[in-house]
Amino acid sequence: MEIDLSNKGLEGVLNIEQYCIDNNIDAKKVKGFVCCSNQITELKGLDKLVNLKTLYCRNNELTELDTSKLVNLVGLHCRNNKLTELDTSKLVNLQGLDCMYNKLTEIKGLDKLVNLFWLRCSSNKLTELDLSKLVNLEWLNGDEYIQPEQNKLDLLTNRVEKLEQIILEITKGKQWK
């Protein structure tokens, strides 16, 4: 079962547990939750969706996102919010992570995501990204690891053998050697 609340003009706190109660939905049966393109500042009761596989909460106003109880999650799409931190340490089944266009300075627990296949994390405030434990990573989109003053890419990729594609968004006017 999937709940789709995209483009509903929702603002402020979204109480997912209350939404399930009001709509006679068993939260344990929800596999997909979509609430894109609203003005949501907080997702309350997200922890009740214990069997959630995919979460799409992009294009909102979220400043925090607690995914610690979402151990079954395989896809997390939280791009274009106002997140300053993201802890993925409990998301051991995660295969795809899209956290672009936030204000992240680090992605906590990234080293635990051994099943991660693709990662989109550009347009944040990341200065380093250690991919050495992501042995299944095949696709990366990121630009924040480039340090213009040193003309270097600060990606730690030891033991990542499958990486087929890296997309770097380079700001116009910067020159790279």
Q: Minimum mean pLDDT among 32-36, 52-56, 94-98, 105-109: which range? A: 105-109
Q: Identify residue 169 by its one-letter amino acid code.
A: E
Q: Find out whether 121 and 166 touch, Cβ atoms under 8 Å.
A: no
Query: What is the pLDDT averaged over residues 95-119?
Result: 93
As a whole number of angstroms, the distance between CA 30 and CA 51 comes to 7
> Which pTM was predicted?
0.83
Residue 68 pLDDT exceeds 70:
yes
Q: pLDDT, tens digit, for every residue of 35-49?
A: 999 999 999 999 999
| CA–CA distance, 140 with 118 (Å, rounded to integer) | 6
Q: What single string gives the DSSP state of each residue in 30-43?
A: --EEE--SSEEEEE
Cα–Cα distance measured from residue 166 to residue 26, given in angstroms and rounded to the nearest whole number:
40
What single string gives the DSSP state of each residue in 105-162? S-EETGGG-TT--EEE--SS----EE-TT-TT--EEE--TTEETTTTEE-EE-TT---
DSSP 21: H
> What are 136-168's pLDDT values in tens digits?
888 887 654 444 444 334 454 444 445 555 554
Question: CB count, 10 Å around CB of 108?
Answer: 12
Domains and CATH numbers, the chain: 2-167 (3.80.10.10)
Q: Which two tokens stand for residue 173?
A: 């006017």
Residue with tokens 């274009």: 80
Residue 131 has pLDDT above 50, yes or no: yes
Provide DSSP, 46-82.
GGG-TT--EEE--SS--S----TT-TT--EEE--SS-
Q: Radius of gyration of the chain from Cα atoms?
A: 17
3-state secondary structure of 12: strand
